[in-house]
Amino acid sequence: MPKPKLLGIDYAAKAAPMVENWRRLAKAGTDDEKRLARAKLESLSTFEVRCRSNPLTASDPVARDRWPGDIPRDYGADIPNVFRFELAERWRGNYSLIGEPGGVRLWVLYLWDHRTYSKQSGYSKR
């Protein structure tokens, strides 16, 4: 399968505030908050580099029965695919590749701590 042309990486409504919070903590948090926020931002940057190389192999596809239950409510039923990726400090993220004229756009849908990710994806009791 040929590598799709990546048109951009965007953070959707549920993920963007988390990234902004990490950026704020990296600058103005306590020493421990700064360290943790910088680690998450660094791993997010590494993920973005992998996506720019090949968005199809940057992480693992998620089986439809393991998709977060909030997707239809938050983004509608038209999401064609979901992938998962790991971040520092046991955080997880989900993204979708959305086809557009000329290539695909990567939308980061969620950034969750491990406990929330497990509950949303059906890996633990709700």
pLDDT digits (tens, 9 = 90+) for 107-116: 999 999 988 8
- pTM of the predicted protein model: 0.89
Partners of 97 in the beta sheet? Answer: 106
The residues spanned by each domain of the chain are 6-120
> Do residues 108 and 15 lie in contact, with contact meaning Cβ atoms separated by under 8 Å?
yes
Q: Read off the pLDDT of residues 24-78 as tens digits, 9 standing for 90 and up.
A: 999 999 999 999 999 999 999 999 999 999 998 899 999 998 898 889 899 998 9
CA proximity to 67, closest of 84, 54, 52, 55: 84
Thinking of the domain 6-120, which architecture would CATH place it in?
Answer: 2-Layer Sandwich (3.30)
Asked whether residue 4 carries a pLDDT value surpassing 90, the answer given is no
**Residues near 100 by beta carbon (within 8 Å), at least 6 away in sequence:** 7
